[in-house]
Amino acid sequence: MIKVSEIKGIHLAYDRLKPGDYGTAQPPYSFKMESDLKIALEHCVDRLVVMGWANDIDTILSAGAYVNKAGAHSRGIAIDLDGVVLKNGTVLTAKSAPEAPYWRFAAMLALEFGVVLHRMYNPQHADHFHVDLSRIVEWGGAKSQVQLIQAILNSHFGYSLAVNGSLGFATLGFWSTVIGEQITDASSAFLKILNMVVEHG
């Protein structure tokens, strides 16, 4: 494993050292991770450039990467993302971010990580994103993926779906309408809507 304290000029910081640190600016911190995770985070920064956000971000706040516990964290291929500190000092957290930018950021993460757990997934992820490389980026019909599609359809395309993780006729129909084609290849349709949101907002 390697230690990483910045990604393409954006600092990484740990904001869970003490109670009350969450969502506050912190000094750079070196996180232990596998090189594949660093590469995926670099790709995320490249996408933030396309989104027009990268130049505004000074620091990414994290709850941790490698942790000696069961799961992807113990393999050094997972990281928990709490928010960002902008260069003007503004802090945006996963807990408080408005719907549209939150789900655009989530879509960006889902283009690089096969697992993206977000604030609608369960109460434990209400204040951070968990992302990991334990799965490849493709449609698997996971609850978190269906919820992501439903939330994107609501926040970016004006629908009013229940974000419940159930892939019903309404979700499929609105998804098909947005991408302009019948969903015959779910992985292709998944990537298409994610790219639409990331590239165009």
Specify the CATH number of the domain 2-200. 3.30.1380
Give the pLDDT band of residue 201 (cuts 50, 70, 90).
confident
Residue 70: count other Cβ atoms within 10 Å of its Cβ: 8
Please compute the mean of the pLDDT values over residues 149-178 and round it to a whole number.
Answer: 98
For residues 167 and 37, give the distance between their C-alpha atoms in angstroms, rounded to a whole number: 30
For residues 153 and 120, give the distance between their C-alpha atoms in angstroms, rounded to a whole number: 14
Give the pLDDT band of residue 69 (cuts 50, 70, 90).
confident
CB of 82 closer than 8 Å to CB of 128: yes
Please compute the mean of the pLDDT values over residues 28-33 and round it to a whole number.
Answer: 98
For residues 172 and 146, give the distance between their C-alpha atoms in angstroms, rounded to a whole number: 10
Domain boundaries, the chain: 2-200
Residue 68: count other Cβ atoms within 10 Å of its Cβ: 6
pTM of the full structure: 0.96
Residue 28, helix vs strand vs coil:
strand
